[in-house]
Every structure is written in C-alpha cells, then in structure tokens.
C-alpha cells in the first residue's frame, strides 16, 4: 500500500469520525444520539410551558383587577371588620402554634436531682432528672388538658426536642442545668391531681427520691416560642 492510498484512507476515516461526533454528544463516556423527533418533542413541550406561564400571568392580572375593584367598593366599616377578623385569626392560630405569649391560671413545677443518701448498691441515676422524666411530666400535663407548657422558659411545641446531655438536658439544642421549672396553663386542679395522684408521675418521682414540687397560681405567664414561624411573621407585618 503506497503513501497516497494511506493518505486517502486517513482522510476518509477522519471525515467519518467528524461526522459521528457532530451527530452525537459524549456524556460520561457514553454516546447519546438525539433523534429529530425528540428535539421536536422538547420544542413542543417548551412552547406549551411558555403558553401556560402566559395564561397564569393573565389570570393573576385579572384577579388583581377584581381585588382592586372589591377593595374600592368597601367602606371603612367593612374594611375594619375584615382587619378585625384577620387579627382574631392571627391571635388564635398564633397562640395555638405557640408563637405568641399567653397568660392564665395553672401550675408551676420544680424538678431537681435528689439529695438523699444512696441505698446500698443503688444506681445514682435513680436520683438524677433525665430527659424522659421531663417528657413524662409534659405528657401528663397535656393529658390533663394543659393549654401551654414551658420548661425553663422554653416554650414546648409539638416538634420540641428534649434529650439528655450528661447531667444537663438539651431542649431544642439549648442546654439547661437543674433545677427544671415547668410551667403549664390550664385547669390547675386537674393537672395537680394527675401528677400527684396515687399513680401520678410526680408521686413516682418523689418515691424514687427525685425532688418534685408543685404549686398552683392564678396567673402564669408563658412566653412565645423563640423559633418564630416565617409565615406568621409575614402575616403580622401584613396587618
């Protein structure tokens, strides 16, 4: 085979290679071919999304115009009534979510590590307040109808996390040392009877040697959660 033939074959191979590369994409070493029909499908899909977006924008403009007309038609008394309803809803759900402070009658509980002498062979953990003790007290309070609960000033919500950290307890990532002050707003008599009854958890703690004190009060203040809800904040600013 002479040099001319070799050059011709090389040129043909080069052209074929360039053609293959031009009609394909290389992704992670795999040759992916895009058929013309696929390109048309993506083009149609894109055009459809653009049309949907235009329709949504048109609908927003129409509804905004209707809202403006509605607001213009309201007198001052009607506007104030709407604002009052919004404010009532804000307060109602803000309290329910634990974002707003509350005040009312209830109980104040102090839980602390026991100070009595250990019995022979007794585990010292029997006299130490653990996270499960806080959990059990909170559950008993809720079972007795507590409307709001706090531990060392931290508002307890449905997603509150409580865990032991050595001789301390972590609540929502914040470390608290003993003693623990638990406040609960609700029916003080019912909450007291549930915790201090024969089978109450407060009674059990006392029997084990843990310090458990409960007092009732006609006015207890519990602050809102420090973890403010973004939507609630936006709602408040809108008012």
What was the pLDDT predicted at 125?
76
| CA–CA separation, 114 and 122 (whole Å) | 13
What was the pLDDT predicted at 238?
45
Tens digits of residue pLDDT in 169-227 = 888 778 888 899 999 999 999 999 999 998 899 999 999 899 999 999 999 999 887 65
What was the pLDDT predicted at 231?
40
More confident residue, 173 or 102: 102
Mean pLDDT of 146-152: 91
Specify the DSSP element, H or E, that contains 211. strand 211-222
pLDDT interval class at 22 (50, 70, 90): low
pLDDT interval class at 4 (50, 70, 90): low
Backbone angles phi, psi at 33, to 5 degrees: -95, 135
Cis status, amide bond into 161, omega within 30 of 0: no
Range 103-222: architecture per CATH: 2-Layer Sandwich (3.30)
Tens digits of residue pLDDT in 24-76 = 544 444 555 667 777 777 788 888 888 889 899 999 999 998 888 887 887 77
Residue spans of the domains in the chain: they are: 3-32, 76-95+232-238, 103-222
Distance from first CA to last CA of the chain, Å, rounded? Answer: 90
Helices 188-196 and 201-208, axial angle in degrees (round to 10): 40
| CB of 180 closer than 8 Å to CB of 137 | no
pLDDT interval class at 7 (50, 70, 90): low
């Amino acid at each position: 085979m002479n040099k001319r033939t070799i050059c011709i074959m090389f040129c043909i191979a080069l052209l074929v290679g360039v053609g293959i590369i031009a009609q394909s994409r290389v992704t992670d070493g795999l040759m992916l071919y895009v058929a013309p029909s696929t390109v048309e499908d993506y083009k149609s899909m894109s055009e459809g999304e653009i049309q949907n977006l235009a329709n949504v924008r048109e609908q927003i403009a129409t509804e905004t115009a209707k809202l403006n007309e509605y607001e213009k038609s309201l007198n001052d008394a009607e506007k104030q009534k709407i604002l009052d309803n919004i404010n009532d809803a804000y307060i109602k759900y803000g309290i329910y979510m634990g974002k707003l402070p509350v005040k009312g009658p209830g109980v104040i509980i102090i839980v602390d590590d026991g100070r009595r002498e250990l019995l022979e062979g007794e585990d010292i953990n029997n006299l130490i307040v653990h996270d499960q003790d806080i959990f059990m007290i909170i559950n008993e309070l809720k079972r007795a109808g507590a409307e709001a609960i706090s531990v060392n000033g931290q508002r307890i919500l449905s997603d509150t996390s409580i865990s032991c950290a050595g001789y301390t307890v972590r609540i929502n990532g914040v470390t608290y040392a003993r003693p623990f002050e638990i406040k609960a707003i609700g029916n003080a008599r019912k909450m007291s009877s549930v915790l201090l009854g024969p089978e109450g958890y407060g009674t059990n703690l006392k029997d084990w040697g843990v310090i458990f004190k409960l007092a009732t009060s006609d006015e207890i203040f519990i602050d809102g959660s420090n973890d403010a809800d973004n939507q609630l904040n936006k709602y408040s600013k809108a008012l």
